[in-house]
Structure formats: C-alpha cells, structure tokens
Amino acid sequence: MLYMSTRGRAEPKDFAGVLLAGLGSDGGLYMPESWPRFSAAELRALRGLPYAELAARVIAPFVGDCIAFADLQAMCRRAYAGFAHPAIVPLVQLDSAIFALELFHGPTLAFKDLALQLAGHLFDHVLAQRDERVCIVGATSGDTGSAAIEAMAGRDRVDITILHPEGRTSEVQRRQMTTVTAPNVLNVAVKGNFDDCQDLVKAMFADAPFRREMNLSAVNSINFARIAAQIPYYVAAALALGAPDREVAVSVPTGNFGNVLAAWAARQMGVPVQKFIVASNRNDILCRFLNANDMSVRGVEPSLSPSMDIQVSSNFERLLFELLDRDAAATEATMADFRATGRMAVPDGKWQEIRREFSGFRLSDEGTLAEIARTWRDAAYLADPHTAVAVAAAREQGPVGLPVIVAATAHPAKFPDAIEQAVGFRPALPPHLSDLYERKEQYERAPNELAAIETLVRNFANRNR
Ligand SMILES: *Cc1c(COP(=O)(O)O)cnc(C)c1O
C-alpha cells in the first residue's frame, strides 16, 4: 500500500514512511492510494473477535507489507492490554436508538489513547527495522500531551519531550503528564502560554541542523497511522449493531476531524454507515460549513469541551481531497485560498454531495450542561461534556429507525467541574488513576527561549543514546 499527499507534490511513501513523516513535505496530508474494502462475508467474519484481533485485521491492509501480520497482531494486543475494560471499547445503550461507544478506558481516559498506544509500538517496530532513534517534540495546552507521553513512555527507540505552559494547565492535566517518570520522557514547563510552546516546537523543527541532529519527529493527529488505528472501533460497534446487514449512523464530537474521518474510512471499507453527524460546541466552523457552506475562520472561544475548541480542522483536507475526486492540484489551490482569505470555497454541487451524508450540529455550554443532566436523569449515564454534545446531536439528527453510535471520547472524571455543575457531584477517578495526587512529579522549568529549550532536549536525548 502506497500513500500520496493531498497536495500531490510530496513523494509517495509506504506505511512506515508515513508513520515517521506525519505531514507531507508539500504540507499535504497522506492518503492511501485506494481504500481497502471488506466484503459482507469478510465483515461478518470479524464479528465477535477480541478487539485487538479485530483491530489487527482492519489495520493490516493499510500497513501492507511494511510489518508482518503476526507482529501487527502482537502490537495490537500489547497496545490494548492496559485498558481498564475487558471489551476495550464497550458499547452502552442509552435509549432505544442511541449507543455510547466508550473510547476512554485507556491510560489517559480519552479516545486518543486508542491510536497513540498502538502508535508507540509501531514507532518502536519501524525504527528497529531501520536501526534509528527519534526524538518526538510536541506542545500541549494540557489535554493531549498526556496521551502522547503515556504512549511513548518506556519505548525503546523513542524519546519524547512535551512542552506545557507553566501554571496554565489544570492540576489533573499536569499530573497526568509529570508523574510519568520513564527515562525517555521529558516534561518542560515553559514560562509562557500555549502559543509560545507551539512556536518553540515549530522553531525546533525549523532549525534544520538541530532537527537532523536530534532526528526530530511528531505524532500529530494528521498522522495517517492514527486515523488507521481509529477505524477498527467503528467497525466493531457497527458489527455489534447488526452491520453489514443493517445500516448505522455515527455522531462524533469533533475538533480536528480525525475521529469522524475514521468513521468515514470505515464506510469506504464496506461498513454501512448511512450518516455522519459532526457535533461541535460554540466553535462551530464545521457546523456552519455543513449547514450553510460557510467554512470561515473565526477566533477560538473557550468552552466546556476544550478538545473541540478549534479554528481549523486539519483533517478536513482529506475529505476535501476525496470530494474533489482526488485532484491534488485543486485541493492545494483550495487550501491556499483558504489560508489567504480565511474562507474555503467549495463548489455548491460538491457541498450538496457532502450534505447527503454529513450533518452539522452545534451546542452551547448551557445546552451541554442540560444534556449531561438529562442523560444522567433518563439513562443513569454520566457523559463527559464532549460526549454530551454528540448525544444531543444524535437525539436531534439521528435518522429514524437507525441505531446511532455516539463516540464517547472522554471519561467524565476528566471534567469534574462541568459534571458537578450539571448533576451536583464530582465523578471519581477510575482506580488506576485514584492515587494521581500522591504520585511524585518530575519536570523541568524553562524560560520561553529557543536556545534554552534546545539545550534541555539535547542533554535529555543524549543521555538515552
Ligand atoms: C481530541 C478530542 C476530540 C476531537 O477529536 P478530533 O479527532 O480532533 O475531531 C473530541 N473529544 C475529546 C475528548 C478529545 O480528546
């Protein structure tokens, strides 16, 4: 299997190349040259398999011959062995039509663990094949750093440095990162804000000698390996609800469009998903696009569902590429125009095509709290704020007569303040995190200066080489 860039000017790569490169050298996103397809009989044969086994079989066609199937199976087993639920991704029925697909039983209580835990093993494997070592650097506002750290902690061939803005993450978020004390993990609290941290990461990548010396890498949500690892849970849930012999719909709380794109990829592979409901908070660029062909950038406003507080959904470029019949030149021109004007021009006919399958939904913070309370009252189910937005979206826009799979992307205990506001009590952390406040923290502090950060990263990485 080869991958090509949505902008058409980066060299095609195989799965291992895409895993290590992330973004194409032309700024585009890698896409498989064609979508693997399972027949109805092949899908039925996946029913009832243990999750890790199903995941290996769904991901295998994307990996191609980069990794032997037995190795991929072993990596899937190891990646999901630490999850706190034996089903890995249990499906919980909330009412006659709505099912919560719980994607938060991994080490950091959010759906990113599903992809990143596997990515950690994939990195080790591919780097061992090449006899290389990489240093991953990233910045976090608090939310996503811990998933990357948990995924890479203890890996043989990866060092990881995550910058966070000192004093600007919640204590739970900071502790989820800083209590991971594996020798290949470096946490740095930067005197500055999240944008400063992101600028420092960009500057490290732009410093070509430093980038080469450290063999810098990243694990962004645009990495196709992460998309591939998010497809199996939609396959598993749809099969449990009667696919391929019955259609389903999905409702996904959406930020960067990676999770909903994986559901769409499952459909390309043969899973009968009839409708994709894109759920957002007040940062509603995708909702405005889907309802009125208005993809125009506005400022980001904070909300109760911070992982959906985005201005531009980077993975949307992949759907755009497909919509434009895989015309890379047209995709590149559309993206360049979008960058220049802040507004994406999608031809009306193409927009109508998207609208047949996708719908947009937006919910305010007040609506989110009301939905958390309602779901608790009616179904005795505690939904985190992200999940609650998607549950409300499913109620409003779920097609009559079809089961709706709601991606439950975070554990309610990750957002205790919002839950308390909605239902009057704070949810307990699950057992594997209950001693988080007693664990020892370890992190460096640094000024907002590139040279100081590079010295820290170099000294840290050289200790492990
Ligand atoms: C990252 C995240 C999302 C958004 O997922 P995308 O793939 O970026 O659309 C939604 N909910 C939670 C809890 C997340 O961590």
- Pocket flag, ligand 1, residue 223 (CB < 6 Å): no
pLDDT reported for residue 287: 95
Give the confidence band of 465 by pLDDT, cuts at 50, 70, 90: confident
Residues annotated as catalytic are 112
- pLDDT in the model for residue 312: 87
The whole-number pLDDT of residue 363 equals 98
359 lines ligand 1 (CB under 6 A): no
Say yes or no to pLDDT of 129 above 90: yes
Our mutation pick for probing the ligand 1 site, out of 102, 409, 414, 415, counting the most ligand atoms within 8 A of Cβ, is 409
> Ligand 1: which atom is nearest the Cα of residue 144?
15
Mean pLDDT of all residues in 214-231: 94
pLDDT at 297: 92
The percent of residues in the chain predicted with pLDDT above 90, rounded, is 91
Ligand 1 contact via 331 beta carbon (within 6 Å):
no
Are 390 and 405 contacting, i.e. CB atoms less than 8 angstroms apart?
A: no
Q: Judge contact between 152 and 138, C-beta under 8 A.
A: no
Interval 375-420: pLDDT, tens: 999 999 999 999 999 999 999 999 999 999 999 999 999 999 999 9
| Any ligand 1 atom below 6 A from CB of 307 | yes
Quote the pLDDT of residue 367.
Answer: 98
Residue nearest to atom 15 of ligand 1 (CA): 307
For residue 50, what pLDDT is reported? Answer: 98
Q: Which tens digit of pLDDT belongs to each residue from 240-285?
A: 999 999 999 999 999 999 999 999 999 999 999 999 999 999 999 9
Q: Per-residue pLDDT for 169 more than 90? A: no
| Amino acid 220: pLDDT | 85
Token pair for residue 356?
A: 């047949």
- 380 CB burial (10 A radius; 0-12, 13-18, 19+): exposed
pLDDT at 143 over 80: no
pLDDT in tens, 297-354: 998 899 999 999 988 899 999 999 999 999 999 999 999 999 999 999 899 999 999 9
The domain segmentation of the chain, as residue ranges, is 91-107+224-423
Q: What is the pTM of this model?
A: 0.96
- pLDDT at position 170 is 83
Ligand 1 contacts CB of residue 409 (under 6 A): yes
| The CATH number of domain 91-107+224-423, selected from 3.40.50.1100, 3.20.20.450, 3.10.20.30, 3.30.750.24 | 3.40.50.1100
Cα 259 to middle of ligand 1, angstroms:
7
* Predicted pLDDT at 141: 85
CA of 128 to the centre of ligand 1 (A): 30
Ligand 1 site-directed mutation target among 386, 391, 406, 415, most atoms within 8 Å of CB: 386
pLDDT of residue 55: 98
Q: Is the pLDDT of residue 221 over 90?
A: no
The pick from 307, 318, 384, 419 for probing ligand 1's pocket by mutation, whose C-beta has the most ligand atoms within 8 angstroms, reads 307
Average pLDDT of the segment spanning 365-369: 98
pLDDT in tens, 300-314: 899 999 999 988 899
For ligand 1, mutation pick of 224, 277, 287, 308 (most atoms within 8 Å of CB)? 308
Q: Which residues of 147-163 are buried (b: 16+ CB within 10 A; e: fewer)?
A: bbbbbbbebebbbbbbb
105-118: average pLDDT: 96
| Residue reference for tokens 């599903």 | 114
The mean pLDDT value for 423-449 works out to: 94
Read off the tokens for 95.
């009412």
Nearest to 311 by CA among 321, 299, 320, 325: 299
Tell how far the Cα of 459 is from the centroid of ligand 1, in angstroms.
33
What is the per-residue pLDDT across 50-64, written as a single tens digit (0 to 9) for each? 999 999 999 999 999
Strands (E), 281-390: 295-296, 343-344, 358-362
Percentage of the chain with pLDDT > 70?
100
Answer whether residue 454 shows pLDDT above 90: yes
The finding on whether 283 has its CB within 6 A of some atom of ligand 1 is no
- What is the DSSP code string of 231-286? HHHHHHHHHHTTTTSS-EEEEEE-SSSHHHHHHHHHHHTT--EEEEEEEE-S--HH
pLDDT at residue 104 greater than cutoff 90: yes
* Predicted pLDDT at 416: 92
CA of 307 to the centre of ligand 1 (A): 5
Q: How far is the CA of 306 from the centre of ligand 1 (A)?
A: 9
220 CA distance to ligand 1 middle (Å): 12
Helix, strand, or coil here: 3? strand
**DSSP per-residue letters across 337-354:** HHHHHSEE---HHHHHHH
449, amino acid identity: E
* pLDDT at residue number 214: 95
- Rg from Cα positions in the chain: 21
* pLDDT average, residue stretch 134-162: 93
- Ligand 1 centroid to residue 50 C-alpha, Å: 25
Could you tell me the sign of the dihedral formed by the alpha carbons of 323, 329, 333, 336, in that order? Answer: positive
For the chain, give the mean pLDDT.
Answer: 95
Overall average pLDDT of the 216-220 stretch? 89
| Residue 221 near ligand 1, beta carbon < 6 Å | yes
- The pair of structure tokens assigned to 260 is 């909903």
pLDDT at position 14 is: 98
DSSP 108-163: TSBTHHHHHHHHHHHHHHHHHHHT--EEEEEE-SSSSHHHHHHHHTT-SSEEEEEE
Give 29's DSSP letter.
B
